[in-house]
Amino acid sequence: MASHAIEIRNLYKIFGARGADHVEAVRAGMSKTELNATHNHVLGLKDINISMPAGGVMVVMGLSGSGKSTLIRHINRLIEPTSGEVLYDGVDICRMSELDLREFRRHKTAMVFQKFALLPHRTILENTCYGLEIQGVPGMERRRRAMEWIERVGLSGFENRYPNQLSGGMQQRVGLARALTNDAEILLMDEAYSALDPLIRVDMQTVLLDLQKELKKTVVFITHDLDEALRLGDKIAILRDGEVIQQGSGQDIVRYPADAYIAAFVKEVNRGRVLRVETVMTPLSGPVEGPAIPAGTVLEAAARDLSSAGASVAHVVDPAGLPLGRLDLHALVGAMVTESTEAREAAA
């Protein structure tokens, strides 16, 4: 099973009876407020172009009402687009026939929901089996496969309970197990962790990261929380009023926020725990100095290493031990405590 990239191209969604009639106006620059006021239609998504990395975690971030749920629902076409394409493995999901779409949903995608959306009258095991049952997998086999995932998400012993006998965090583990049991290449998670308490949330993020190391699915993860986005995302897209206002790696977004809106978001981030050494290192010039710090180390940890070594300069090395760049304590501390000049310019 190799996961592929998801390509979203020129995607528009306008809610209302005659959405298609207003695409041109929106393309020409009509705003969400204006569209609503003059035509009584709601702009859901405007000209979305994202390529979601194969086998990686794509995070879509934005405030409530920015169109995140609308966007993720186009990938399994729970919402019909007004215009545009969603390509997976060379096929436009938006043009699939009813039957092809059902097969695509059964075998290629699985989804985790914000409010869990478990079947209350079924046990944890029966809920976890659901996707396989729909596919027509025989009872014995689907129970065996479901049990594996129930174990993996740490719910052994609970398989005969009912959802309402479990806490929210445990219910979402069931949601995750149900999705993973489907063995699909695409995993869609719509604010899957937003309803959970902060500690449980971090727990569940770890569960996802651990699983993803081995599964390498194409994950689309929706959140309104930047810390969560930075922790999980290989790539992040930020939505506002149905438009993508910035996309790139978490490092890029924290260091070079595209506008004041994103800068305001990023200000609250603990940069020392997010930015990695390779983002602030400078090219090697002259001899290698100081302790070796592996690429991928966050700044806070690097600062700790530097100070315990009593050094003011270190060098960054790749997994093979080859030097990649020079890290200087001054620049490191600077990146941890201040916004970059680019951001200040953008904010001004």
Partner 1 sequence: MALCDALPTLLCKFPAIDDGTIRVVRKTIDESFKALVRSYANVIDVVVAPLQWFLNLLERSFTGAPWILVLAILLAFVFAASRSWRITLGAAVAMLAIGLLGLWNDTMITLAIVTVSTLLAVLIGIPIGIVMARSDRAQRIVNPVLDVMQTMPSFVYLIPVVMIFGIGKVPGLIAVVIYAVPPMIRLTNLGIRLVDKEVLEAADAFGSSPWQKLKNVQIPLALPTIMAGINQTIMMALAMVVVASMVGVGGLGRNVLQAINNQFFTIGFLNGFALVGIAIIFDRASQAYGRRLQKHSEVVHG
Ligand X SMILES: Nc1ncnc2c1ncn2[C@@H]1O[C@H](COP(=O)(O)OP(=O)(O)O)[C@@H](O)[C@H]1O
Q: Which residue has its beta carbon closest to Mg ion?
A: 69
* Residue from the set 104, 149, 193, 221 that interacts with partner 1 by CB under 8 A: 104
Least spacing, CB of residue 66 vs Mg ion, in Å = 9
CB 265 within 8 A of CB 226: yes
Distances (CA, A) of 153 to 130, 182, 221, 322: 16, 14, 18, 37
CB 33 within 8 A of CB 21: no
Helical spans, DSSP H, in the chain: 23-27, 32-39, 68-75, 98-107, 124-128, 130-135, 139-152, 168-181, 198-215, 226-232, 250-255, 260-267, 271-274, 277-280, 299-309, 329-337, 341-347
Distant-in-sequence, close-in-space partners of 104: CB < 8 Å, separation ≥ 6: 76, 88, 93, 96
Identify which range of 11-19, 27-35, 163-171, 239-247 contacts partner 1 by CB under 8 A: 163-171
Least spacing, CB of residue 117 vs partner 1, in Å = 4
Residue with Cβ nearer partner 1 (113 or 256): 113
* Residue from the set 39, 41, 59, 69 that interacts with Mg ion by CB under 5 A: 69
Least spacing, CB of residue 166 vs partner 1, in Å = 7
Helical spans, DSSP H, in 216-259: 226-232, 250-255
* Residue from the set 33, 167, 206, 270 that interacts with partner 1 by CB under 8 A: 167
Q: How far apart are CA 221 and CA 270, in angstroms?
A: 21
Task: Kindly state whether residue 91 participates in binding partner 1, applying the rule CB under 8 A.
Answer: no
DSSP-derived pairing of the beta strands 109-112 and 186-190: parallel
Proportion of the chain in helix, strand, coil states, percent, rounded to 5:
45, 20, 35
Residue with Cβ nearer Mg ion (77 or 216): 77
Residue with Cβ nearer Mg ion (62 or 272): 62
Residue type for 314, please?
A: A
Least spacing, CB of residue 5 vs partner 1, in Å = 21
Distances (CA, A) of 312 to 201, 265, 327: 37, 31, 9
Least spacing, CB of residue 38 vs ligand X, in Å = 16
Distance of CA 61 to the CA centre of its chain: 8
Residue with Cβ nearer partner 1 (124 or 327): 124
CB 120 within 8 A of CB 51: no
Q: Which residues bind ligand X (CB under 6 A)?
A: 15, 42, 44, 62, 64-70
Task: Kindly state whether residue 307 participates in binding partner 1, applying the rule CB under 8 A.
Answer: no
Q: Give the tokens for residue 48.
A: 């979305």
Task: Kindly state whether residue 137 participates in binding partner 1, applying the rule CB under 8 A.
Answer: no
Residue 281 CB coordination number (10 Å): 22
* Residue from the set 182, 205, 223, 340 that interacts with partner 1 by CB under 8 A: 182
Residue with Cβ nearer partner 1 (134 or 264): 134
Task: Kindly state whether residue 80 participates in binding partner 1, applying the rule CB under 8 A.
Answer: no
Looking up tokens 């000049």 gives: 341
Residue with Cβ nearer partner 1 (191 or 339): 191
Least spacing, CB of residue 65 vs Mg ion, in Å = 8
Helical spans, DSSP H, in 191-259: 198-215, 226-232, 250-255
Task: Kindly state whether residue 119 participates in binding partner 1, applying the rule CB under 8 A.
Answer: yes
Task: Kindly state whether residue 111 participates in binding partner 1, applying the rule CB under 8 A.
Answer: yes
Binding-residue total with Mg ion (CB under 5 A): 1
Task: Kindly state whether residue 120 participates in binding partner 1, applying the rule CB under 8 A.
Answer: yes
65 makes contact, choosing from partner 1, ligand X, Mg ion, none, with CB < 5 to 8 Å by partner type, with ligand X
Which residues of the shown chain bind partner 1 in the complex (CB under 8 A)? 76, 78, 102-107, 109-111, 113-115, 117-121, 130-131, 133-135, 162-168, 171, 182, 188
Residues near Mg ion (CB under 5 A) are 69
